Structure 1
Amino acid sequence: MTDFKKISTLLLSCALTAAFTPSRAQEAPKPDDPALKIYRAVPTKVNDLVHTKLDVRFDYKKRYLYGKEWVTLKPHFYPTDSLRLDAKGMDLKNISVVKNGKNIPLKFTYEDSLSVAIKLDKVYRNNESYTIYIDYTAKPNELKQKGSAAINDAKGLYFINPDGTEKDKPTQIWTQGETESASAWFLTIDKPSQKTTDEISMTVPAKYVTLSNGRLALQKTNTDGTRTDTWKMELPHSPYLFMMAVGDFKIYKDKWRNKEVNYYLEPKYAPYAKEIFGFTPEVIEFYSKTLGVDYPWNKYSQIVVRDYVSGAMENTTATLHGEYVQATHRELIDAYYNNGRSTIVHELFHQWFGDYVTAESWSNLTVNESFANFSETIWAEHKYGKDVADEHNHDDMLTYLRSADGKTKNLVRFYYADKEDVFDAVTYQKGGRILNMLRNYLGDAAFFKGLNIYLKTNAFKNGEAQQLRLAFEEASGLDLNWYFNQWYYGAGHPALNISYKWDDATKTQTVYLQQTQDGQTFKLPMAIDIYAGGKKERHKVWMNDKADTLTFHVASKPDLVNVDGDKILLAKKTDNKTIDEFSYQYFNAPLYMDRYEAIEAAAANQKEKPNQKIIIAALKDKYYGLRIKAIKALNLTNDDVRNAALPVLTSLAKTDDNTLARAAAIIALGKLKMAGNLTLFKESLNSQSYAVQGAALTGIGLLDPAQALPLAKGFEKDNKGALTTAIFGLYAANGGNDQWPYVYDTFTNATLQNKFNSVRALAEMTGRVEKPEYAQQGIAQLKEFGVKYKMYGADQFVTQQMLDIKAKRTQMNDTASANAADDVIKAMAVAK
């Protein structure tokens, strides 16, 4: 599953808490919640799944699945005469045991429409299997199940535009099994500790394409305009990894070695399939070689669907992506690693960590999701270089440090209020960072040998963190209990204060390390690099106590003492270097984070020459991400900074080979509102990059809105991403009745993230647009937004906006709109 990670980075919580009420966003369970006192044991195995055979067809009008199922099981160890299957919100018509080709009905009790207790026809022992036949109807739209921060719905089976009434939206069916929603569309033991082979036959309108796990074994054309596709999965996997998808998809056929690699896209995106997914075989090869375990399944398909409830899902052999990875050539010009590509590699790594070896319980989700998060960094390093990898790794750490979860939640978590709560920044971002630290500590050879041992030992079975520890210990010969105890079975992270003292008389450099966090003391192995006399000397040290004093004899005063020289620790660091030391670090230390830290330090006080030197130099950094950071950090109100930066910004705006850096430079120039840049902005409108065009249009709008409005009109038929945002912002700030339809339609059809980003601008225009009917359209949209995202505090935000809208509409003598705004204010109050 795409990490909690990509939906903040996927997930909205950052945008929401910035715009709305942080206290309401992602409310954590209270410490006295009784559910937090329940030990979440691995479910007891009474029966084991062996094989699951499904024959299903769909009722698009009713949103039903009509299913026939044959599930083969055997007792795990002890004899049993009973079976319990998970079955959420179904009509159960027949449950029988299959004997000599005949169905013998069994007695069963359907409990709370969640699970069914079945009395078997006899006592079975673990050397004999039995097959149960079930005739059932699944009704997903009538099922009410709680989702999570990472997976916002849990009804298992989704009908998208089934009646074809939504314009420009395809008709699709798809499934989402994680965590335990597979049992909303077929009966099973819906636990990750179960594994089964499967066969799924889908009867669908003949015009549609299907996808499921494994291989397409048979296609049969029926006389009623339907077709039955049979998919067979001949290696065992967990029920939550079962999938189906049905719809009008174009298939681009690729391959890795002799195996199928296919990409399923909506027809209008089919021409870009290779651009979107074409690097997949290269990633499969890299992961296979790195892990020493070849891709273990018969095929790998990726499919993009509408209205997906998360970022992506690693169904075995058939990953399902949300539509945000779908893009045209022009959109892909501005694509960067975090924008879709990291999700693609994240889900692919799950085919080993999560599918081939599966967490035995949600408490141990780290052995699935932390590894998928980790994989994003190693691929970035391999493909794009260490700067990209280090940026990605650091961004993940910041996401974790900013979350409310870090101080109290263990990585391996046996106590939680709901299994969905485990999908968080601890499991994803912290877990990925922990693995990167362990890789640094052990070295690549031992680390990846450990992964190889873990995968081979537990192939097609289940794993947990202790098995991972044993694999790393076998590979390295080192005891790692200390590491797993503090990082996997303990909560929090160090807050590390670093200070320095040089004694010229004794030629002694002292480094003072202090952990200031409450709670446990962390053992921290680290590198300290001392730069002196034109040379770097590395010292490998351990911090074992809350406060440690380290001394080093150096021939001359160091130019730089670089604590955590590999920039790999998971810690909130306060590093008390001087700006001259940070300057030396920027120009001489090798890593992305060395330069990042120096830019951060320099940004604080740009009146000083050393600070200016760093910031101006960073505008030409070799990595575009740091060029952008420097551009955004510039204090252009300072004459010296502005005068030094202007020629560099102009050059970047014209010639930078990265479109995002070019756009950032144009945005910075636009904020200066210098008429001399108008020609540059107009020329930039000819770029193929939406980001560059959007920045240029914004710049023109800041200089001359009257000139910008007709230019924006010319882009209404072809705009995406940053250009759409720029048109929306320009119209919302400066437009009127003529521009309202574009603003309203854009907001109405926006992605979830874009709605959060643009709701304030919609409210501003709603308050001043001339036509009352337009104002009331805006008020209705804002109301819907406030109600739908109340859990994030959107209701409070909408109430604040409505007070302003009401006042403005009253001044305009628009009583109807003012009353409509007042009604929303009252409705929001009642909603609380």
Structure 2
Amino acid sequence: MLSCALIAAAMTTAYAQQTPQPENPALKIYRAVPTKINDLIHTKLDVRFDYKKRYLYGKEWVTLKPHFYPTDSLRLDAKGMDLKNISVVKNGKNVPLKFTYQDSLSVAIKLDKVYHNNESYTIYIDYTAKPNELKEKGSAAINDAKGLYFINPDGTEKDKPTQIWTQGETESSSAWFPTIDKPSQKTTEEITMTVPAKYVTLSNGKLTAQKTNADGTRTDTWKQDLPHSPYLFMMAVGDFKIYKDKWKDKEVSYYLEPKYAPYAKEIFGFTPEAIDFYSKTLGVDFPWVKYSQIVVRDYVSGAMENTSATLHGDYVQATHRELIDANYNNGRSTIVHELFHQWFGDYVTAESWSNLTVNESFANFSETIWAEHKYGKDEADAHNYADMQSYLRSPGANTKNLVRFYYADKEDVFDAVTYQKGGRILNMLRNYLGDAAFYKGLNIYLKTNAFKNGEAQQLRLAFEEASGQDLNWYFNQWYYGAGHPILNISYKWDEATKTETVYLKQTQDGQTFKLPMAIDIYQGGKKVRHKEWMNDKVDSISYQLAGKPDLVNVDADKILLTKKTDAKTIDEFSFQYFNAPNYLDRFEAIDAAAADQTRPQAQKILIAALKDKYYGLRVKTIKALNLTKDDVRNAAQPILISLAQTDNNTLVRAAAITALGKLKASGNMTLFTQAMSSESYAVQGAALNAIGQLDPAKALSLAKGLEKDNKGALTTAITNLYTANGNDAEWPFVYHAFTEAGIQEKFNTLKNFADMTAKVNKPEYAQQGIEELKNAGIKFKVYGAAPFVVTQLESIKAARTTMKDDASAKAADNAIQAINDAK
């Protein structure tokens, strides 16, 4: 799964720090792997849907056997259902069994006899699932837990398709069929769905039969012949267009809403190449009969790796114009993340949520190795570094182990430790062992545990078998310990003894981290690499050299997971920028130069970095420029004009236009006006913002002509222009843009939306805005955003009171109360 919890970390951190939380007693409970009494073998379902009631009518035949000890009882997870009949199947007949279903979460069944582990039995269940009546809380990663979702089932929501889809992780499959809903269980599967004939279906495995019925429905049967865990079961029903691709002799297909079907190949077309790359890298061919990807509306997370049938939120669905501006992080990393789960998560599954790292850390890791393969090492290093920063900024992350046997709720494990920290740790281990040994270890792990379950200890043993090294030290500090080193690096050159000393100091509380690292010394036009270890909290390493080095580059591969302070001079950073090979070498130099742009060496770095080979560093440098300084502006402006007009990356062109726009130089108006004809939404949005700073009336006029075709950065630019300069006439556009925005976009524009809600003339418009803010505050309270939304509503209340709009002021008051009362 890819978490959708990306919203404003600074906002969350600020409010989280205001109110320290008392220790949760649930954190003292050891979360053991669930004891296996019975094992799932095969699950057969026959389901149909009641769109009006939002019900699923199901019949199930589930085959099981005792795991080891004899038993005469069975407990199944079954959340919020009507259980009409539970029987054991004997000689083709259903023999009713006694059962107890008191908590509406699980059912205890008394079997007809004592069964031993050399005999299986089949239970028949007739049931109704009522997901919309189920009260199950979600998490920051998965914001709902109903299991089965009816999207616009009555067709009453304009411009929204009617769909049904499922979401099983963590333990929500049992909201739509009774099962032992634990990742340590594995079962083969057969699902028969009866649906309106106009719709297509998707499920795990292979479509083996289709039958058209006289009542306008069709019955589809999907079979999954290889075992997988219940949380990976999936169904989807709706009006999707299917684009069929292939990898070797296996079908690869993409299910999209009809209007996005022309872009299927642009969105997903690299999937067969990625399947081939991962298959060869791991030495294990893609294990399932097919691979499908489907895009749905109103998804409750980012994406989900259901076996052979990944489900994506609609943010990966895009037109050609949107895809022009897409970088690796806009959907492509998600696509490979979920694909890698088909091995790590589906083929071998974490045996418990405590060991989620063997699923999610690997999927995160896969994003980096695909980026390196497809786009080059700079893209990979940029992605890996951004993930590390995401972990370092995450509140409380440094107190949590990667393998986590203590947690308040299983949903809590889906966090920056499991994802971003875990991925970085795997990249460090790959660097330490070398590619050959690392991937041999993954191959051993996958083959040893195929169609079974794994945990971090099995992973360690596989790496040790491959490399011949004892890796307990590594797993103890990174998997079974919390936190990270905070590393201070300083240097001293002794001219008399021709000695360079590197001083290393870890300043974090708690454990000392054992850190292998490369140190590159540049001198006399040559680079010499030294392999070193930091074993103590304070350490130093000395080198006898012919003369003072040009650069000592500690952690030369830039791979350590650490918060680092490096006492290089600006001259050393300049040498690093022009001579050291990695993305972070240049990134660090740009940061150092940006901090004081009065220095000639700093200006030299920044001007050179405007033409860096990696687009992300060009964008970073443009944003870092202090154009109020004459010498910086005079040197940079001609390059910015060139970048704005000719750079091969639209995000660089947009950043350059944005920087030039801030100069408010009328001489650039022609450039901005020409940029308005770009096919890129990002370039158009930047140009509109720039024109707005020179001539707001002209910008407003241009914006009106863009209302019918705008997405992404252009939508944001129009919205910002309207919220700053518009009023009632512009409100419908702003309101629609806000209601249609994704989670992150909502938070990015929430302040401006609230400001416009405060100032519109019509009370009904103000109340529309207040209602949307209330909904945002309640829905995303789990992200810690409620205090921020409440602050905006208080400002709106004050403004509407001044305007003598008592009805809207009261609505704001009620909205604040509703957010505060929401669970």
TM range (shorter): over 0.9
Find the residue that maps to 1:665 and give its secondary structure: helix
**Are positions 1:496 and 2:487 aligned together?**
yes
Q: What does residue 357 of structure 1 align with?
A: 348
Q: What does residue 26 of structure 2 align with?
A: 35
Which whole-Å deviations, capped at 9, do the CAs of 1:548-568 have from their partners, x for residues lacking one?
Answer: 110011111000000000000
- Once the two structures are superposed, the pairs formed by residues 538-553 of structure 1 within 5 Å of their partners are 538-553=529-544
Q: What does residue 231 of structure 1 align with?
A: 222
- Structure 1 residue aligned with 2:153, among 143, 162, 182? 162
Find the residue that maps to 1:519 and give its secondary structure: coil
Q: Deviation of residue 37 (structure 1)?
A: 1.1
Which whole-Å deviations, capped at 9, do the CAs of 1:387-435 have from their partners, x for residues lacking one?
Answer: 0000000000000001123321111111111111110000000000000
- Structure 2 residue aligned with 1:573, among 564, 580, 592? 564
- Once the two structures are superposed, the pairs formed by residues 451-470 of structure 1 within 5 Å of their partners are 451-470=442-461
- Structure 2 residue aligned with 1:265, among 253, 256, 259? 256
Q: What does residue 367 of structure 1 align with?
A: 358
Find the residue that maps to 1:23 and give its secondary structure: helix
Q: What does residue 145 of structure 1 align with?
A: 136
Whole-Å Cα distance in 2 between the matches of residues 803 and 189 of structure 1?
47
Read off the aligned partner of 1:352 and give its amino acid letter: W
Read off the aligned partner of 1:767 and give its amino acid letter: A
Which whole-Å deviations, capped at 9, do the CAs of 1:271-299 have from their partners, x for residues lacking one?
Answer: 00000000000000000000000001110
Q: Is the 8 A contact 2:800 2:806 kept in 1?
A: yes
Whole-Å Cα distance in 1 between the matches of residues 597 and 93 of structure 2?
83
**Are positions 1:21 and 2:21 aligned together?**
no
Which whole-Å deviations, capped at 9, do the CAs of 1:596-616 have from their partners, x for residues lacking one?
Answer: 000111111111111111111
* Bigger shift: residues 814-823 or 310-319: 814-823
Read off the aligned partner of 1:760 and give its amino acid letter: K
- Once the two structures are superposed, the pairs formed by residues 426-505 of structure 1 within 5 Å of their partners are 426-505=417-496
Q: What does residue 169 of structure 2 align with?
A: 178
Q: What does residue 671 of structure 1 align with?
A: 662
Q: What does residue 761 of structure 1 align with?
A: 752
- Structure 2 residue aligned with 1:696, among 671, 687, 700? 687
Taking every aligned residue pair, what percent have the same amino acid on both sides? 80
Q: Is the 8 A contact 1:29 1:417 kept in 2?
A: no
Q: Is the 8 A contact 2:489 2:504 kept in 1?
A: yes
Whole-Å Cα distance in 2 between the matches of residues 118 and 108 of structure 1?
4
The 3 A distance-change label for structure 1 pair 406 and 468 is same
The 3 A distance-change label for structure 1 pair 125 and 271 is same
The 3 A distance-change label for structure 1 pair 289 and 795 is closer
Read off the aligned partner of 1:260 and give its amino acid letter: E
**Are positions 1:397 and 2:388 aligned together?**
yes
- Once the two structures are superposed, the pairs formed by residues 482-561 of structure 1 within 5 Å of their partners are 482-561=473-552
Whole-Å Cα distance in 1 between the matches of residues 502 and 820 of structure 2?
56
Read off the aligned partner of 2:289 and give its amino acid letter: N
Q: Is the 8 A contact 2:7 2:783 kept in 1?
A: no
Q: Is the 8 A contact 2:86 2:123 kept in 1?
A: yes
Which whole-Å deviations, capped at 9, do the CAs of 1:363-382 have from their partners, x for residues lacking one?
Answer: 10000000000000000000
**Are positions 1:288 and 2:279 aligned together?**
yes
The 3 A distance-change label for structure 1 pair 411 and 663 is same
Q: What does residue 191 of structure 1 align with?
A: 182
Find the residue that maps to 1:739 and give its secondary structure: helix
Whole-Å Cα distance in 2 between the matches of residues 523 and 716 of structure 1?
57
Find the residue that maps to 1:441 and give its secondary structure: helix
Find the residue that maps to 1:796 and give its secondary structure: helix
- Structure 2 residue aligned with 1:308, among 279, 299, 315? 299
Q: Deviation of residue 811 (structure 1)?
A: 4.4
Q: Is the 8 A contact 2:684 2:714 kept in 1?
A: yes
- Once the two structures are superposed, the pairs formed by residues 83-232 of structure 1 within 5 Å of their partners are 83-232=74-223
Whole-Å Cα distance in 1 between the matches of residues 409 and 766 of structure 2?
42
Q: Which runs of 5+ in 1 are unaligned?
A: none
Whole-Å Cα distance in 2 between the matches of residues 460 and 748 of structure 1?
43
Which whole-Å deviations, capped at 9, do the CAs of 1:296-323 have from their partners, x for residues lacking one?
Answer: 1110000000000000000000000000
Q: Deviation of residue 791 (structure 1)?
A: 4.0
Q: Is the 8 A contact 1:52 1:196 kept in 2?
A: yes
TM-score (norm 2): 0.98
- Once the two structures are superposed, the pairs formed by residues 621-636 of structure 1 within 5 Å of their partners are 621-636=612-627
Whole-Å Cα distance in 2 between the matches of residues 573 and 446 of structure 1?
29
Find the residue that maps to 1:622 and give its secondary structure: coil
**Are positions 1:731 and 2:722 aligned together?**
yes
Whole-Å Cα distance in 2 between the matches of residues 139 and 750 of structure 1?
29
Read off the aligned partner of 2:616 and give its amino acid letter: G
Q: How many residues align?
A: 823
Q: Is the 8 A contact 1:654 1:662 kept in 2?
A: yes
Q: Is the 8 A contact 1:46 1:76 kept in 2?
A: yes
Read off the aligned partner of 2:297 and give its amino acid letter: R
* Bigger shift: residues 712-721 or 797-806: 797-806
Q: Deviation of residue 251 (structure 1)?
A: 0.2
Q: Deviation of residue 829 (structure 1)?
A: 6.4
Read off the aligned partner of 1:394 and give its amino acid letter: Y
Find the residue that maps to 1:355 and give its secondary structure: coil
Q: What does residue 238 of structure 2 align with?
A: 247
- Please provide the CA RMSD for this pair: 1.5
Q: Is the 8 A contact 1:16 1:756 kept in 2?
A: no
Q: Deviation of residue 348 (structure 1)?
A: 0.2
**Are positions 1:413 and 2:404 aligned together?**
yes
Which whole-Å deviations, capped at 9, do the CAs of 1:459-498 have from their partners, x for residues lacking one?
Answer: 0000001110010010000110100001001110000000
Whole-Å Cα distance in 1 between the matches of residues 159 and 668 of structure 2?
39
Q: Deviation of residue 16 (structure 1)?
A: 4.1
Which whole-Å deviations, capped at 9, do the CAs of 1:129-174 have from their partners, x for residues lacking one?
Answer: 0000000000000101121111111110000000000000000000
Read off the aligned partner of 1:662 and give its amino acid letter: R
Q: What does residue 382 of structure 1 align with?
A: 373
Whole-Å Cα distance in 1 between the matches of residues 538 and 501 of structure 2?
13
**Are positions 1:47 and 2:42 aligned together?**
no
Which whole-Å deviations, capped at 9, do the CAs of 1:202-223 have from their partners, x for residues lacking one?
Answer: 0000000000000001001111
* Bigger shift: residues 787-796 or 128-137: 787-796
Whole-Å Cα distance in 2 between the matches of residues 609 and 92 of structure 1?
77
Q: Which runs of 5+ in 2 are unaligned?
A: none
Find the residue that maps to 1:393 and give its secondary structure: helix
- Structure 1 residue aligned with 2:61, among 41, 54, 70? 70
Q: Is the 8 A contact 2:73 2:110 kept in 1?
A: yes
Which whole-Å deviations, capped at 9, do the CAs of 1:712-760 have from their partners, x for residues lacking one?
Answer: 0000000000000000000110012221111112112222222111111
Whole-Å Cα distance in 2 between the matches of residues 48 and 365 of structure 1?
21
- Structure 2 residue aligned with 1:335, among 323, 326, 336? 326
Q: What does residue 801 of structure 1 align with?
A: 792
Q: Deviation of residue 790 (structure 1)?
A: 3.6
The 3 A distance-change label for structure 1 pair 221 and 428 is same
The 3 A distance-change label for structure 1 pair 183 and 828 is closer
* Bigger shift: residues 642-651 or 245-254: 642-651
Q: Is the 8 A contact 1:21 1:792 kept in 2?
A: no
Whole-Å Cα distance in 1 between the matches of residues 814 and 269 of structure 2?
52
Whole-Å Cα distance in 2 between the matches of residues 569 and 224 of structure 1?
63
Q: Is the 8 A contact 2:9 2:394 kept in 1?
A: no
Find the residue that maps to 2:17 and give its secondary structure: coil
Whole-Å Cα distance in 2 between the matches of residues 365 and 792 of structure 1?
21
Q: Is the 8 A contact 1:406 1:493 kept in 2?
A: no
- Structure 1's consecutive aligned runs of 4 or more residues displaced over 6 angstroms after TM superposition are 829-832
Q: Deviation of residue 785 (structure 1)?
A: 2.8
Q: Is the 8 A contact 2:11 2:788 kept in 1?
A: no
- Once the two structures are superposed, the pairs formed by residues 550-629 of structure 1 within 5 Å of their partners are 550-629=541-620
